[in-house]
Amino acid sequence: MNLLDGAVLPKDGEKTADFVIVGSGPAGSAVARAVARAGASVLVVEEGPLRKPSDFHADSFQAMADLYRDLGGSLTRGPAPMPYLQGRVVGGTSVINGAISWRLPKDIHDQWCKADPALTLALPFDTLEALTDEMERELGIAPTDPAIAGTHNALFAKGAQALGIAHRPISRNVVQCQGSGGCLQGCRHGRKQSMDLTLLPQACEYGAEIMFNTKVLRIDHDHRRARGVLARSQGGGLWRLQARRAVVLAASAVQTPCLLWQSGLRHGPVGEGFQGHPGASAAGFFREPVHLWQGATQGHEGIGLRQEGLKFEVLGMDIGVAMTRLPGVGQELSRHLALLPHMAEWGCAVKAQARGTVRPSLLGRPVVRYQLTDADMAKTRKGLSILAQMLLAAGAERVHLGVHGGPTEITDPRQAQAFASEGPRDPRAYAMVLTHLFGTAAMGSDPARSVVGPDFGVHQLAQLYVADSSVFPSNTGVNPQTSILALASLCGQRLAAAG
């Protein structure tokens, strides 16, 4: 790969390319490859470090410190703050996610087009499907092989089957998975087809350059068109990165709107409409060993209630994180350590209605304000209730929800069922995590109600484009990586064709 390490660049400098792309996650990588393949010169700028699979750590703390933004401790603001997880490494969140791959659901696409008919032409579903097909082939996306799925995933299938909830092995971008359960720490075997191992090296073969350990501070523009970006290398140099044809923002639904704000580009709902998929989880304790750190990290899912905005998944994890889900503190927690090998952890992702905002603080750090609605909490209670029933049906002797004011432990399916109606209403009673972030620079034809137009171009400024999940008009209810890849590829193809 053509690499430039910002850590060894103490002096100021300048570089020029046809396209300057901010962010090296799925969106940035897809655009970079598309435009580089068409012969354009490309510079991808990434804030995080470059890591090889052999650099990844087995334990979650070291992995989070090295690969996650803020040690995984970025928090939303609001009455019930919750962490949101983002990768900060070359390859972005694709390096540290569970590799779950979902096509953009047709019903979600229809909703977008119904709300803004201009999107029917701008994002033709057939074209997105064709691009998704291409990605599925290239990234080896296939259902999880039962041979490596492991007990944790097999029990999930058993529980979902018993409850009559449609379920299936998760399609993932992993080739010859060894079932080592380390997706969330970065795959040390290099089997996950994350962007650092796939699209980015391909883009580099076409001549793209990756400047990592370099943080983009703002977009350089003259109020009519974008000229490039101003960036700070980790070594301390100030770099003026000029774009002959366009600047493409692909820095995530949190960082992209902040960059727009910090660059004085605040026309339209910049940073508004923030959406995500808050997730809650249930721990079940089985008589037989489960070893939730073995097998496919996230190998099986329950999809029967997707239309209601609920999706269920296995949550494999390292023991460092798993221990936090054991009940109690002090001597009680210490005693429960013996239960770790027998614990299963399953989660539900909620397609929340809540909409938040993203703005930079005075110090330039993103401030995400987000508060779940009553309807979101009702879905969460239902999701946890179903997870508890599934765990019991799969053979768990008891289930621990970790909800303040809820039952300490659940041993009876009727108790689990009752949680949906009787569980606490207050979001502060729950320990939830927010993933899959969308909508902060939404696409649309009306500049008053959207930030980018149907061509991915920012309404306010020529030659500035947004290609990440910020442009999604709403959350999708499913894991977005493949949808992001499809939309960003479309964006890249159009930029390449624009000449």
Query: Which residues ranging from 422 to 481 are in contact with another protein (CB under 8 A)?
Result: 428, 431
Residues 153/160, Cβ–Cβ less than 8 Å: no
Q: Which of 123, 63, 115, 86 shows the shortest CA–CA distance to 321?
A: 63
Distance CA 464, CA 100 (A): 30
Q: Among 36, 64, 174, 187, indicate the residue that binds another protein (CB under 8 A).
A: 64
Distance CA 302, CA 100 (A): 13
339 is a site residue for another protein (CB under 8 A)? yes
Nearest to another protein of 294, 479 (CB atom): 294
Q: Is 109 a known active-site residue?
A: no
138 is a site residue for another protein (CB under 8 A)? no
With contacts defined by CB under 8 A, name the span among 196-204, 239-247, 267-275, 330-338 that binds another protein. Answer: 330-338
38 is a site residue for another protein (CB under 8 A)? no
Q: Among 2, 38, 61, 190, indicate the residue that binds another protein (CB under 8 A).
A: 61
Residues 411/334, Cβ–Cβ less than 8 Å: no
Q: Which of 215, 199, 313, 276 shows the shortest CA–CA distance to 9?
A: 215
411 is a site residue for another protein (CB under 8 A)? no
281 is a site residue for another protein (CB under 8 A)? no
8 is a site residue for another protein (CB under 8 A)? no
Distance CA 43, CA 196 (A): 15
Nearest to another protein of 73, 117 (CB atom): 73
Nearest to another protein of 137, 287 (CB atom): 287
With contacts defined by CB under 8 A, name the span among 69-77, 194-202, 237-245, 440-448 that binds another protein. Answer: 69-77
Distance CA 100, CA 92 (A): 15
Burial 244-271 (b: 16+ CB within 10 A, else e): ebbbbbbbbbbbbbbbbbbbebeebbbb
Distance CA 366, CA 358 (A): 6
> Cβ of residue 368: shortest distance to another protein, in angstroms?
12
Distance CA 100, CA 82 (A): 22
Distance CA 206, CA 18 (A): 13
Element (H, E) at 156: helix 146-163
The site for another protein, by CB under 8 A, has a size of 41
74 is a site residue for another protein (CB under 8 A)? yes
With contacts defined by CB under 8 A, name the span among 131-139, 247-255, 296-304, 328-336 that binds another protein. Answer: 328-336
Nearest to another protein of 337, 375 (CB atom): 337
Q: Which of 315, 273, 366, 355 shows the shortest CA–CA distance to 69?
A: 366
380 is a site residue for another protein (CB under 8 A)? no
334 is a site residue for another protein (CB under 8 A)? yes
Enumerate the active-site residues. Answer: 436
Residues that bind another protein (CB under 8 A): 58-62, 64-66, 70-71, 73-75, 80, 289, 291, 293, 318-324, 328-335, 337-342, 404, 428, 431
